[in-house]
Amino acid sequence: MPDTTENPFFVIVRAGDRLEDLSTPRPVIDEDRLASNIRRVQSYMDQHGLSFRPHIKTHKIPAVAAQQRDAGAKGINCQKITEAEVFAAAGFDDILITFNILGHEKLERLSALNDQITSLKVVADNSVTVDGLSAWFADRKPLNVLVECDTGAGRCGVQTPAAAVELAVAISKAPGLTFGGLLTYPKPHAAEQVQSFLTEALEGLEERSIACPIVSNGGTPSLFDAHLVTAATEHRAGTYVYNDRSMVRAGHCTDEDCAMYILATVVSRPTADRAVVDAGSKALTSDLLGFSDYGQVIDYPGASITGLSEEHGVIDLSNCSERRPQIGEKIRIVPNHTCVVSNLFDTMVFHRGGIVTRVEAVAARGLVW
Amino acid sequence: MPDTTENPFFVIVRAGDRLEDLSTPRPVIDEDRLASNIRRVQSYMDQHGLSFRPHIKTHKIPAVAAQQRDAGAKGINCQKITEAEVFAAAGFDDILITFNILGHEKLERLSALNDQITSLKVVADNSVTVDGLSAWFADRKPLNVLVECDTGAGRCGVQTPAAAVELAVAISKAPGLTFGGLLTYPKPHAAEQVQSFLTEALEGLEERSIACPIVSNGGTPSLFDAHLVTAATEHRAGTYVYNDRSMVRAGHCTDEDCAMYILATVVSRPTADRAVVDAGSKALTSDLLGFSDYGQVIDYPGASITGLSEEHGVIDLSNCSERRPQIGEKIRIVPNHTCVVSNLFDTMVFHRGGIVTRVEAVAARGLVW
């Protein structure tokens, strides 16, 4: 039971406590669903011969990453150096940071981390990043750098297979750097497009006799299509570990696979059609992800969380049957997006059948790069 | 310089550091704008004879609340017991928690807090809350309870002046409780409606010879109309202390009064019209508050933050002039909503003219009730 007592203002939760007695709002994780999500995805990856690299952004908890590793995951994926530092300190020694690292203050920490663990990898999608990394690592332990490819998601990444090859050539020639492979964070349900981009880039690399150790594909929404991208050697995913309402909508999982819900208390019933709970945007976040409301109220299917203030959630009950939540009642809300909820809380409570099993510090949250 | 060294994974920032050398993403507060916001609002309240009770949700930092108190604020406003505990420990002894408190685990902490400080006040908008408080406080130091009124905002609150009077009567008769007054969190720019509700409720209380010590109005968006609600004796506001893009739009302040911006680094320029920064929803939050993009890029007026992942912000540059942000460049973003940004970070950096003046722990964030 880590560190819940270090801060005198924490509400103490202990193994054996009943969820119904916990103070709210409070996200909790179902141990069985968590274990089942880890098992199901790892088994799929094993079946298709794909290395699996979980993204720790979703939980930010070393003990959960250890469960993923014990199930068969090869290495982990972080998004920030400070996240990677937390996990390196917890014994993880194969870490991929999927971000362009720029600037002296980050490079200093990056090289310290590179000295500390066996295998640190980063990505780059431009020559400014590559030049900065090379200048810094030229007289240090070499850094492994993958080329990030935009295969259609429209975020980071080189725009064409030819540009990927060109940047790979630059990395392989750059002092202090080792070319680590290709990486993409794809648009969901676009396996064909991803496969086509990566295949063409791989052909270009082969023409130049550049070995490509890793071809890393990613994402939870269409994770079970990962085998269609035969060019890939590994897959990265974060959200699958807890799942959420958006993953149910994406077809990745069912309601029964959502391991996180937020426990909230009905604190007001100002009108027959309105309930107010103590979970607002500082518990649920305002991530809509295309939904028109802020989470799914498990026990009241017609209820819709139509508005959030920071510590209030306003629920429209007009589509509920006569059974409506009463003041003082605790309700359960599946968040639209689980990863951002984790990021709001310093500790996460795990349970089995409503009995607390453990409390983990969300160790890698709140850290500036 | 508090506690930035307690966690070994914090990036250390010290007074005297230059903002341009800080790692990003990082929210920072301009000391002069902060001081000016505090001064301007307190001076307005003084001028109109209104007690002013700052809401600490915006900063969650005792040292900032001390600046507000030193300027003349009478007491503070918290939204959660754990917030109030942090501020009580820092010496604040007039605290109003504007929430219906329900449940054994909260009542226990509430009465401990009530024993600790001179003046603790809470609100109630229903008889379940009042009965719960009364049962708990009947043989303890009495608790001061205000009636929350819904004067049009559609969140919590009794729906009519008559209902307010009825609940006030119940509180004044309830063992362990003292009736503390009326409170509303109003719809912005609806002074007339607020005044009318409160006046009618006050008349009802007078008819029953129930004294009403406090009539508390609130909100930043139309704060400078507070004097129009002559029924009020005090005003509560949080956001005014930092201000943000939504407060500029509401007409409360100008761009030059926004004390917070988020420092972010351009990490990718995949296309001529697209920049990607390292500030995503875990730095800016996804609060839109009616805007169509996720913050205002100060230095590039045509730039629009059109998409957020957790650690990436995608900026559309198509409406920018030829001058466009380059990879590695640090840019400044005024958030749509400052209060939720504070809540994401464990420390807040303050500066004057780009030189760090202090780093404060955001002491009251991340605490479950």
Residue from B282, B326, B356 to probe the interface with A (highest A Cβ count within 10 Å): B282
Residue from A130, A239, A268, A287 to probe the interface with B (highest B Cβ count within 10 Å): A268
Whether chain B has a CB inside 8 Å of the CB on A5: the answer is: no
pLDDT at res. B369? 62
Is B281:B309 a contact under the CB 8 Å cutoff? Answer: yes
Architecture of the CATH domain A31-242: Alpha-Beta Barrel (3.20)
User: Residue A344 is which amino acid?
Assistant: L
Q: Say how many CB pairs under 8 Å bridge A and B.
A: 204
Contact B159 A271 (CB under 8 A): yes
pLDDT digits 0-9 by tens, A100-148: 999 998 999 999 999 999 999 999 999 999 999 999 999 999 999 999 9
| pLDDT tier for residue B279 given thresholds of 50, 70 and 90 | very high
Question: What percent of chain B stands above pLDDT 90?
Answer: 95
pLDDT at res. B7? 67
Is B241 a residue whose pLDDT tops 50?
yes
| Nearest Cβ partner for B270 among A157, A285, A288 | A157
pTM of the model: 0.96
pLDDT digits 0-9 by tens, B113-130: 999 999 999 999 999 999
Ranking A20-24, A129-133, B48-52, B293-297 by mean pLDDT, the lowest is A20-24
Is B70 a residue whose pLDDT tops 80?
yes
pLDDT at res. B4? 44
Contacts of B82 in chain A (CB under 8 A): 9-11
pLDDT at res. B108? 95
Comparing B10 with B72, which gets the higher pLDDT? Answer: B72
Give the CA count within 13 Å in the CB-facing half-sphere of A148: 28
pLDDT at res. B6? 57
Question: Mean of the pLDDT values across residues B333-338?
Answer: 98
pLDDT at res. A6? 57
Average model confidence (pLDDT) across chain A: 96
Contact A155 B22 (CB under 8 A): no
Question: pLDDT under 50 in chain A at which residues?
Answer: 1-5
Residue from A7, A28, A267 to probe the interface with B (highest B Cβ count within 10 Å): A267
The alpha-carbon gap from B259 to the nearest alpha carbon of chain A, in Å, equals 19
Task: List, in order, residues 6 or more apart from B138 with CB less than 8 Å away.
Answer: B175, B176
pLDDT at res. B366? 79
How far is residue B63's CA from residue B6's CA, in Å, rounded to a whole number?
19
What is the CATH T-level fold of the domain B31-243, as seen in this structure? Answer: TIM Barrel (3.20.20)
Joined tokens for residue B67: 């600046």
Q: In B74-165, where do the E strands start and end?
A: 76-78, 94-97, 119-124, 143-149
pLDDT at res. B12? 83
Domain B19-29+253-361 class in CATH: mainly beta
Contacts of A107 in chain B (CB under 8 A): none
pLDDT at res. B368? 72
pLDDT digits 0-9 by tens, B161-173: 999 999 999 999 9
pLDDT at res. A276? 98
Is B1 a residue whose pLDDT tops 60?
no
Whether chain B has a CB inside 8 Å of the CB on A24: the answer is: yes
Place of tokens 């332990």: A141
Write out residues 77-106 of A within 8 Å (CB-CB) of B: 79-80, 82, 85-86, 89, 99-100, 102-106
| Nearest Cβ partner for A281 among B82, B287, B311 | B287
Domain boundaries, chain A: 19-29+253-361, 31-242
Strand pairing category for B94-97 and B76-78:
parallel
ipTM, interface predicted TM-score of the complex: 0.95
